[in-house]
Amino acid sequence: MKLGLVFRIGTIMLLAVFLLQPDWFAFVFAPMTKNGQPAIYVQNSLLSLTISHLLIVFAATLAASAVAIGLAIAVTRPIGREFLPLSRTIANAGQTFPPVAVLALAVPVLGFGTEPTLLALFLYGLLPIFENALTGLTTVPPQVEEAARGMGMTDRERLWQVELPLALPLILAGVRISAVIAIATAAIGSTVAASTLGEAIIAGLINSNLAFVAQGALVISALAILIHDGIGALERRVGRHLIQG
């Protein structure tokens, strides 16, 4: 527990220092370069790439959460129940498209830039959140459901006061999975000119500069770990009373 906290704070500080003063770390990356190539990517600052990477991930995950949770609520209500299988199929189909294919298909319509990336991440993020929200909303213990109805809660009161709070840890787990996938996948967006950390990786690949590739990949990994860890902690917090004694 203590060790975990030290590790967390350590990772955040290291990442922050690296993004603010990348030059201090030139000695680490220099051995990966050849023929006097620059050791640190400077076309765009790593800090601004990280910020825009995170903004894209945040926007896409937020939109995916809203739509997926909304959809899961809709198909678990009496009126929407007949659409349950259909919605599952659609969400599954979204997941089988490789993100690159979504980008390729979206560019002609949306043009180069951030939009096709957002679309791909959004579609990609739907399924895990939808599946988890669905599981959470449909596995409320029957006695709890029965008590809520027996005490005179309306359908809406039951949703807000019982079903959603009980499903929250699972929903957060879905958001966590989606966000981590999005962090990794956003890098591909740089192939269609979205401003993400993928830019450093692509520049490194084109110029055979392993240092650039390593910088991009390391920052992306650190972000993924921190987000995974942060949302995971939140899940445990909201779920800590839910284990029935």
Partner 1 sequence: MIEIEHLSKTYDGRTVVDDVSMRIADGELVVVVGTSGSGKTTLLRMINRLVEPSAGKVSIDGVDCRAIAPHLLRRQIGYAIQGHGLFPHRTVSQNIATVPGLLGWDKAKISARVDELLSLFQLDPAEFRDRYPGQLSGGQQQRIGVARALAAAPKLLLMDEPFGALDPIIRARAQLDLRDIQRRLGTTIVLVTHDMNEAILLGDRIAVMDQARLLQYDTPRKIVVSPATAFVGELLGSGERPFRLLALQPVRDFVEPGMAEGQPIDANSSLRDALEEALWSGRKAVPVRDASGALLGRVTLETAIRQAAPQR
Smallest distance, Å, CB 157 to partner 1?
7
> In whole angstroms, how far apart are CA 136 and each of 132, 164, 169, 179, 239?
6, 8, 8, 19, 12
Q: Which of 95, 165, 217, 228 binds partner 1 (CB under 8 A)?
A: 165
Q: Which stretch binds partner 1 (CB under 8 A): 53-61, 127-135, 151-159, 204-212?
A: 151-159
Does residue 236 touch partner 1 according to CB under 8 A?
no
H or E element in which residue 99 lies: helix 99-110
| DSSP code at position 66 | H
Q: Which of 85, 89, 111, 146 binds partner 1 (CB under 8 A)?
A: 146
Q: Which of 64, 148, 186, 213 binds partner 1 (CB under 8 A)?
A: 148
Does residue 153 touch partner 1 according to CB under 8 A?
yes
Q: At what angle do helices 84-96 and 114-138 cross, to 10 degrees?
A: 140
Cβ proximity to partner 1, 77 vs 149, nearer residue: 149
- The one-letter amino acid code at 225 reads I
148, HSE (Cβ side, Cα atoms, 13 Å):
18
Q: Which two tokens stand for residue 119?
A: 């679309």
Does residue 138 touch partner 1 according to CB under 8 A?
no
Residues that bind partner 1 (CB under 8 A): 141, 143-154, 157, 161-162, 165-166, 241-245
